[in-house]
Each structure stands twice: as structure tokens, then as C-alpha cells.
Amino acid sequence: MTARILNVSPDAYHELPHFSSSTAKVLLAKSALHAKAGVGKKPTKLMDRGAVVHRLVLGKGADYEVVNAKDFKTNKAKEDRDKIRAAGKVPVLVDDLEDYHTVAERIRVQLADRNIVLDGQSELAIEWTEHTSYGDVTCKGMLDHCWLDAGLILDLKITEDAAPSSVERTSENLGYAVQCAAYTRALAALDPNLAGRIGFAFAFCEPNEPYAINVSEPDGIFQHLGEQRWLRAVTTWAKCQHDGIWPGYGTSINPLSSPSWALAREGFSTDDR
């Protein structure tokens, strides 16, 4: 694999047409058609909060602009919000920004308590090439924080519940294993000497009192599963590019059945299918 560091702004990075872990998640969860269309989530307050806290903790990331209002219910506030978003920035209510600063400070303190000092590179954008039997795929990844010489990656996640049992479900539902695999492969492509010894950790951070954080390192099974899914997604993308066909949910009539939990609730056995 070949790779290089991209010196681009977050906006310019997101405009690049390259394959990414976000695209892979859509492809795996929905279809290649959805991934090609760039289907994503509409901005929400939770997403905005995460983006701003990222910026305050890491010192780099999405730009934001303050709206001097208590909420976005008035026409003026809505107009300001829409203009800010149209400019590629995150609109933030003035009172919310004070809370976000508190969250960011508590995160930094708790990371320092674990001897994690953010003295590497934040928002490190990497471009690399994945080789498949259907051709090469140009990929991109933006690492929240990376210590290049040590081969360490830290990914910051703002979540309402950072308890171990909760983040396990969240990681599966949101495809974090795929992200881990993509970023690890990106760094290994950038510096082949790091292959096989790259460290990766998620910092799951709660944005409300008591601002608890849970720094978690993916185990071998998590990493292996992510690698399999990432490579499957890349290969599917390459095949679609090669064939010029981007399938959705198939062209035949699909069967529809009741899930096992519904059968169990009604006293049926899965043998009754």
C-alpha cells in the first residue's frame, strides 16, 4: 500500500471522493448504492456537540460560530443557524458553548490522569491505496489524534453512556471496528515499519456530570472483525467501480419473515417458520 499525509482543511477533506470508513459503514449496513450516493445523517444537536467538543479538546477540527440566542426557535436564530451551516461551520448557542468548554476541560484532565497527553498530531488526514483483485481503491482517513513515531492512535467519542457494556453495543452498531481497521491500515501504509505494532484506543466521553470517560483498547477479535469487514467493503467498492454497477437491495423479490424474538413472544418456535 502507498500512502501520504494530506495537508487539507476538514471541509476540503470531506469533499474528497475517496473511499473511507464512513463510506464502508454505509455500504455494509445498507448497500453499495447508498454508499455511492453518499447517504449520511443530517446534523443534529448531538452531532454538533460532538464536533465542537472535538475541536476544543484536540485544537483542530470543524469550525464553529456562536449564535447569540437561547434556542433556535425564533426566525432570527434559525436564519443565523442556516447561514452558519451553509458556510460549512457548526452553529452553537452561546450558553451551550460554555458547557462544551467545561466538557472539553474535564476530558483533557481525565486523559492526563491516564498519562495521555495530546502532544501528537490532531486531525491527521491520510490518503492511501488499497489493492484488490478488481483494481486499486484510493482511501482516506482523518485520525483524531496520532503519535506518528510511536504508532499510536486515539479516537475521541462523545457518548451519553460510556459504560463498558454500553460502548460495546455502540461500537458494533456504529461500525467502530471498521474505523479501527481503516485507520490502522492507513498508518501502516504511511509507515510500513509500524505494521503489526500499531496501538489504537477509543476515548468514550460522557458530556454530562460527572463527565466520566472510558478509554478502551480493542482486543484481537475486535480488530480481526473490523479488518474482515473493511476488506470486504473495499473489495465490494472496487468491484462496483470495475463493473459500473452499484446494487441496492437486489433486483428480485425478497422474502419477508418474522424475527425470532417476535416468534418467541407469541409462543412459536423457529422450527415453525
pLDDT tens-digit series, residues 155-205: 999 999 999 999 999 999 999 999 999 999 999 999 999 999 999 999 999
pLDDT of residue 269: 73
| Chain mean position to CA 267 | 40
198-228 pLDDT, tens digit each: 999 999 999 999 999 999 999 999 999 999 9
3-state secondary structure of 203: strand
Q: Compare 127 and 85 and report the one with higher pLDDT.
A: 127
Whole-model pTM: value is: 0.90
109: containing domain: 3-272
pLDDT score, position 47:
86
Specify whether the CB–CB gap between 4 and 127 falls below 8 A: yes
pLDDT of 92 > 80? The answer is yes
Q: What CATH number has the domain bearing residue 22?
A: 3.90.320.10
**Cell numbers standing for residue 191:** 509507515
pLDDT tens-place string over residues 137-161? 999 999 999 999 999 999 999 999 9
Span 107-117, mean pLDDT?
A: 97
What pLDDT was estimated at residue 45?
80
**Mean pLDDT confidence for 95-99:** 92
Whether residue 103 contacts residue 205, with contact meaning beta carbons closer than 8 Å, is answered with: yes
Please state the domain count of the chain: 1
- Where residue 129 falls among pLDDT bands split at 50, 70, 90? very high
Cell of 239: 468491484
pLDDT tens per residue across span 246-271: 999 988 999 999 888 998 899 887 66
The yes-or-no verdict on residue 273 having pLDDT over 70 is no
Q: Beta strand 121-132 with 3-6: parallel, antiparallel or unpaired? A: antiparallel
Q: In this model, does residue 43 exceed pLDDT 80?
A: no
Residue 118 DSSP SS3: coil
